[in-house]
Chain A
Amino acid sequence: MSELIQLDGLTVDFDGRFQLSNINWCIEPNQNWMITGTNGSGKSALAAVLAGVGDVVSGTQTGIPDRVSLVSYEAQGELIAAELKKDDADILDVISEGTPVQEIIDQVCQDQELASQLVKQFGLDALLDRSFRKLSTGETRKVLLVRALTSNPQLLVLDEPFDGLDANTHKMLAAHLSSIVGQIPMVLVLNRFDECPDFITHIAYLDSGELRHQVAREDDSAYAELYQLLHLKTGDVEVPDADPISDLPPLDPTQPLVRITNAKIQYGETVIFEDLSWTIETNQHWQLTGPNGSGKTGLLSLITGDHPQCYVNDIFVFGFQRGQGETIWQIKQYIGYVSTALQWEYRVSTSLRHVIISGFFDSIGLYSKYTDRQRDIANQWLEILGMRHRADDPFNKLSYGDQRLLLIARAMVKHPPLLILDEPCLGLDDINRQRILALIERICAGSETAVLYVNHHPEDKISGIDCYLALD
């Protein structure tokens, strides 16, 4: 391939079932790309576009070479379907054996020597005379790979090429792909970062049919963030259990979690808000909005007990009428809390694991002895975050986005009845916002925590929130 491939504002429709929208992408001749994303994000569709699949709705594509070899489940399925159709079309009253594997390979093969080498390496030599349609799924996949690799392509597009291959074959294929780097540009669709071969130079991340991120492999921090985003989106993990030892005193289910009556916050002569009443019931998810200075954070801190004027307001939280001899630790034990301010305050040099464990004690820094069980739970959270291998690293050396993720895990570690997220995406770039939201959605889906979410940006939506309070 000598030219660069360029997709400009390309929108492609796939039989009305799926659309790729507004794709802007450029593949330079010396680049090898990995396309990734969650299931249904459109990564296979984008790969297929390079092979001419789909109907262009708008935008332009230039530089796509004539000979593009595509290996994908779809292509595999089509080839099998074509073989079955041949069988149906056979009018002779004999049992059709179908096309033998050798012939299927020969249909496109441009390099007999390479073909016999690959056939041997893939362990296909005993199957050359077998009918293609009688092969197992893994075997047909290998045949397709041989066809693609020997057809002298100008661009090789491999959709999940390692999927379903045994370890030896996987290794062999990876080695072969490495050996042709520089001769044929490659685009690989891969679900997992740990399969990303060394020769990949760039990564494209798709979400909901949009090309959301393009990252150069050599950009270590962006690569790591993308890795984690994918991990959070796709990792097969459950929210860890709460710790039975630190079980919270049970709440009266007939009472709301929070009931604020005619509240007022005032500094000097300035009234921030007054006559504000609000009730949060168990399992309700709320979004709180309002312009800067409308008192959002003040209102939240009336609930958490961090606002001194909580003692002069009528506030009932978690069974306590405030100002009757309760301690703030009795209140805080029911709340998980994340905000930019908390992150600023969390300037203690402590390990990632200890930051999560500190959530059991509602402390900033860890000042209490913890149990093995609490440590294990913290490790499980680190696993979810994809940070298990960094458990003993210092918190203050983490990137801003990673710190935020960790603080959310800290807030959730005890499965609080109420999780307060005060602008959890503030100060984060797009990819980090998506990581945070992915984590929160996983948490919301997997627990009985009521979520109270403060946020300005309509695009930072969390599914499942259906109650709204707007301050003005």
Chain B
Amino acid sequence: MANYFNSLPLREQLEQLGKCRFMHLNEFTDDVNALKGKKMVVIGCGAQGLNQGLNLRDSGLDVSYTLRAEAIAQKRQSWKNATENGFTVGTYEELIPGADVVLNLTPDKQHTAVVTAIMPLMKQGACLSYSHGFNIVEEGMQIREDLTVIMVAPKCPGSEVRAEYVRGFGVPTLIAVHENNDPKGEGLALAKAYAVGTGGHKAGVLMSSFIAEVKSDLMGEQTILCGMLQTGSLLCFDKMIEEGVDAAYASKLIQYGWETVTEALKYGGVTNMMDRLSNPAKIKAFDLAAEMKDIMRPLYHKHQDDIMTGHFSATMMADWANDDAELLGWRADTAETAYEKTDAGDMEISEQEYFDNGILMVAMVKAGVELAFETMTSAGIIADSAYYESLHETPLIANTIARKKLYEMNATISDTAEYGCYLYNHACVPLLGDFMKDIKSDVIGRGLNLNDMSVDNARLIEVNREIRNHPVEDIGGELRGYMADMKRIV
């Protein structure tokens, strides 16, 4: 198998990368009808598999699970997940031949083996669905010509996919049809019905391509989403300890700080997050972010370049072949960091205090979001995709840190994201080394504590203009506007 993206001519690569369109609610009036009465068989019963299946069933669809024979015989966790939730479970041989739609929700790493095993069993003209395009795009998996291949990718961890559905809402979802495999032209209708079944249409659906999804998703998760938050957590914590800030306080400020500052990001973009700071603090954060952007820009470019050329996926696949030695080693290292081992204190920290004492964290989010967005768009990814894979998802990942720190984040995200996150972290921590030497507790841990809050008017105007005029704010305002139409109250 060869990298599918690399097999395409540049013209087509750019066309595929540029695909992304926000779909309006009125495009979903057919509800789940395209899937009504069809047999949907989910492969894998992890977080995405189980939670998507629960939603689809609660939307009136016929869902069952297929697992490898060993998983059933040994009553593994995936078998328990499915049976305790009242689903029919069977082997590939038992369930795949009768399936109208097969939902491949296994981890990326297993895709080749799983798809190779089930393809011969699938009935003529059935549909194969992915939640991530890695297998098609990076590994170049070839699918039987009579099969329809679609992607429905909820842009959230599986637990959120379920929690939002139960609330009566959903999570933003990306859908795509693999154009090489849409023999009956029904791919889009199936993908839309699937998105309705998981509740995604209520929160906003992006129609994209397999290629745009993979290249932007990998970039976002490695850099701003997981990488920057991990690096930022470790650097900020160590700095606070060095500065004599109470360790329990420092731990709490970081664990809940990302969630709190990015909540402001969710509501009103970088502009609103920065506006939560006092004027002197805003100017400080702006300057810190500008400095960090200059330092980190080559790193962001390298990540994007490695993703585009396939170097990243080749490296990771080599680690797969080596029993995940690197991934598991890095995971163990993370667990041993001072931040991870210090429990958050039970002191009260007000919502505003997270901003006032976390100026550097705000600056890191700003720098990471803007850099990731700039890098993606300059690589041919359309602004809509770049927005979702950077700014939009940051609060979602921050929520996982609030739950159980970095351990939870890395447990929730995919192995692919986790691998990329560690790559980023290993490069970024030393890269920011000199920068961090000049950092004091006024921007992380204690706040500026100024008696005089005055600022220079001209400087403030300039800073505000630069924040507001960044392209991520432009597309963000537009997309949040669509979302707000659907979700009047966030």
Q: Which A residues have a C-beta under 8 Å from some C-beta of B?
A: 266-268, 305-306, 308-312, 325-329, 345, 348-351, 354, 358, 361-369
Interface pairs A-B: 4 shortest CB-CB: A363-B168, A308-B85, A364-B167, A312-B86
B68 → A minimal CB distance (Å): 21
Is the Cβ of B167 less than 8 Å from the Cβ of A365?
Answer: yes
Task: Decide if B488 touches A308 in the complex (CB within 8 Å).
Answer: no
CB-defined A-B contacts under 8 Å, sample of 15: A267-B84, A268-B84, A308-B87, A325-B37, A326-B60, A328-B59, A348-B490, A350-B489, A362-B168, A364-B166, A365-B169, A365-B489, A365-B490, A367-B168, A367-B487
B58 within 8 A of A: yes
Complex formed: what's the CA distance from A365 to B199 in Å? 15
**Chain A minimum-CB-distance residue to B486:** A367
**Which of the residues A305, A309, A363, A368 comes within 8 Å of B58, measured between beta carbons?**
A305
Interface string of B318-332 (1 = CB under 8 A from A): 000000000000000
A325 pairs with B168, CB closer than 8 A: no
User: Does B86 lie within 8 Å of A368, measured CB to CB?
Assistant: no
A328-B58, A365-B167 given as contacts; is B202 within 8 A of A308 (CB)?
no
The number of A-B residue pairs with CB atoms under 8 Å apart is 64
Question: Among A311, A326, A328, A363, which residue has its beta carbon within 8 angstroms of that of B86?
Answer: A311
Q: Which residues of A are found within 8 Å of B58, using beta-carbon distances? A: 305, 327-328
- Is A327's CB under 8 angstroms from B489's CB? no
> If the complex has contacts A325-B36, A327-B58, are A308 and B487 also in contact, measured as CB distance less than 8 A?
no
Contact B169 A367 (CB under 8 A): yes
Once the chains bind, are B488 and A306 in contact (CB under 8 Å)?
Answer: no
Given A327-B60, A328-B58, A368-B488, also A363-B85 (CB < 8 A): no
Q: How many residues of B contact A (CB 8 A)?
A: 24
The answer for the CA separation of A354 and B490 in the assembled complex, in Å, is 11
Question: Is A367 within 8 A of B488, CB to CB?
Answer: yes
Across-interface contacts of B489 in A (CB, < 8 A): 348, 350-351, 354, 365-367
User: In the complex, which residues of chain B have a beta carbon less than 8 angstroms from the beta carbon of A350?
Assistant: 489
Apart from A326-B60, A361-B168: 5 A-B pairs, beta carbons within 8 A: A308-B86, A325-B60, A328-B58, A350-B489, A367-B489
Contact B86 A306 (CB under 8 A): no
Query: Complex: how many Å from CA A327 to CA B80?
Result: 24
Docked-complex contact A310 and B86, CB < 8 angstroms = yes
Answer whether residue B276 sits at the interface, using C-beta atoms and an 8 A cutoff: no
Q: How far is the CA of A308 from the CA of B80 in the complex (A)?
A: 13
B54 touches A308 (CB 8 A): yes
Q: With CB as the reference atom, state the residue of chain B lying closest to A309.
A: B86
Docked pose: A348 CA to B490 CA in angstroms: 8
Closest to B165 in A: A328
Measured between beta carbons, the chain B residues less than 8 angstroms from A354 are: 489
CB-CB contacts of B457-490 with A at 8 A, as 1s and 0s?
A: 0000000000000000000000000000011111
Q: How far is the CA of A362 from the CA of B202 in the complex (A)?
A: 14
Chain B residue nearest in CB terms to A308: B85
- B57 interfacial by beta-carbon distance below 8 Å: yes
- With A361-B168, A366-B489 already in contact, the answer to whether A327 and B85 are too (CB < 8 A) is no
Given the complex, which residues of B lie within 8 Å of A311, measured CB to CB?
57, 86-87
B263 → chain A closest CB, angstroms: 9
- Nearest Cβ on chain B to A390's Cβ, whole angstroms: 17
How many angstroms between the C-alpha atoms of A245 and B202 in the bound complex?
Answer: 21
The docked-state distance in angstroms from the alpha carbon of A369 to that of B25 is 13
Q: Could you say which residues of chain A place their CB within 8 Å of the CB of B86?
A: 308-312
Bits for B52-85, please: 1 = Cβ < 8 Å to A, else 0: 0010011111100000000000000000100011
Give Cα A305 to B86, complex, Å: 12
Q: A309-B85, A311-B86, A325-B36 are in contact. Are A363 and B59 (CB under 8 A)?
A: no
Please provide the chain B residues from 24 to 68 with a CB less than 8 Å away from any CB of chain A in the complex.
Answer: 36-37, 54, 57-62
Q: How far is the CB of B245 from chain A (nearest CB, A)?
A: 28
A351 to B488: give the CA distance in the assembly, Å: 12
Given A268-B84, A367-B487, A367-B488, A345 and B37 touching (CB < 8 A)?
Answer: no
A311 vs B85: C-alpha distance when bound (angstroms): 8
Q: Inside 8 A of B167's CB, which chain A residues have their CB?
A: 345, 348, 363-365
Closest to A326 in B: B60
CB distance from B100 to the nearest CB of A (A): 15
A267 to B57, CA, bound (A): 20
- Point out the residues of chain B lying under 8 angstroms from A327, CB to CB: 58-60
A366 with B488: CB separation less than 8 A: yes
